[in-house]
């Protein structure tokens, strides 16, 4: 397997992102799985670490199959996967209800992960969005669109592994893309890790506590 665990994948990504160290970066992880990876990158780049609160909207009876995704904010961003919505026979009312449930979970996570913690400033900085892998791309796309609205000087997506077709589709959302493995045959993100145990809420909160809200900005 390409990666022993998320920490090792994060260290490999950090090496690939070394040129960003002097470009005033901020690392933005998609919890939960992206948090251990983001921690390795933030440490290597001496950058602040924050999270993007985004949730997959799973199809009925197939929660891992994304029919869309939602990102929290003053105006929540919703990304739809029309092909999956149609195949699952999901109507507008059912889709809206599913989005509402995921937004409620985002609010719970906000309280658990962030509490009163200030958000990291993104405007004018190189924003590096990280996750442990990309399958359908719905959550990554939603997160990238939300971050773009916050005015980064450069928007980067960095992942250890992704489905080849999906990662190509996401290139149009970013200024730069770093993906270490993009196989043609892709069943699930976890298949590329020897250790893919679930990351807990407590682990995400502990990771964030290790990083200051704002590292000194580089000239």
| pLDDT tens-digit series, residues 171-185 | 999 999 999 999 988
Percent residues over pLDDT 70 in the chain: 96
Residue 216 — pLDDT band, cuts 50, 70, 90? low
Query: What pairing do the DSSP bridges indicate for beta strands 49-51 and 77-80?
Result: unpaired
Question: What are the contacts of 55-64 at 24+ separation with CB within 8 A?
Answer: 55/102, 55/103, 55/105, 55/106, 55/139, 56/102, 56/138, 56/139, 57/95, 57/98, 57/99, 57/102, 57/138, 58/98, 59/84, 59/88, 59/90, 60/88, 60/90, 60/94, 62/88, 64/188
Whole-structure pTM over 0.95, yes or no? no
pLDDT in tens, 52-74: 998 889 999 988 788 988 987 76
CATH fold, domain 6-53+117-209, is Rossmann fold (3.40.50)
Question: What is the mean pLDDT of the segment spanning 109-113?
Answer: 84
Residue 214 — pLDDT band, cuts 50, 70, 90? low
pLDDT in tens, 116-154: 788 888 999 999 999 999 988 888 998 999 899 889 999
Please check whether residue 36 is in contact with residue 46, taking contact to mean a CB–CB distance below 8 angstroms: no
Question: What is the mean pLDDT of the segment spanning 187-192?
Answer: 92
């Amino acid at each position: 397997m390409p990666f022993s665990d998320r920490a090792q994948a994060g260290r490999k990504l950090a090496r690939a992102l070394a040129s960003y160290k002097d470009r005033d970066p901020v690392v933005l992880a998609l919890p939960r799985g992206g948090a251990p990876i983001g921690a390795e990158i933030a440490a290597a780049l001496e950058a602040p670490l924050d999270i993007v609160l985004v949730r997959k909207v799973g199809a009925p009876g197939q929660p891992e199959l994304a029919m869309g995704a939602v990102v929290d904010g003053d105006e929540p961003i919703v990304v739809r996967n029309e092909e999956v919505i149609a195949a699952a026979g999901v109507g507008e009312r059912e889709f809206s209800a599913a989005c509402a449930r995921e937004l409620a979970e985002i609010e719970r996570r906000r309280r658990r992960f962030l509490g009163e913690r200030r958000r990291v400033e993104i405007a004018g900085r190189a924003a590096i969005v990280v996750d442990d892998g990309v399958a359908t791309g719905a959550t990554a796309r939603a997160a990238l669109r939300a971050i773009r609205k916050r005015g980064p000087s450069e928007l980067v997506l960095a992942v250890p592994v992704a489905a080849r077709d999906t990662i190509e589709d996401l290139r149009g959302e970013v200024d730069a893309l770093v993906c270490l493995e993009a196989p043609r045959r892709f069943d699930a993100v976890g298949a590329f890790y020897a250790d893919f145990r679930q990351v807990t809420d407590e682990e995400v909160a502990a990771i964030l506590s290790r990083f200051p809200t704002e590292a000194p900005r580089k000239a």
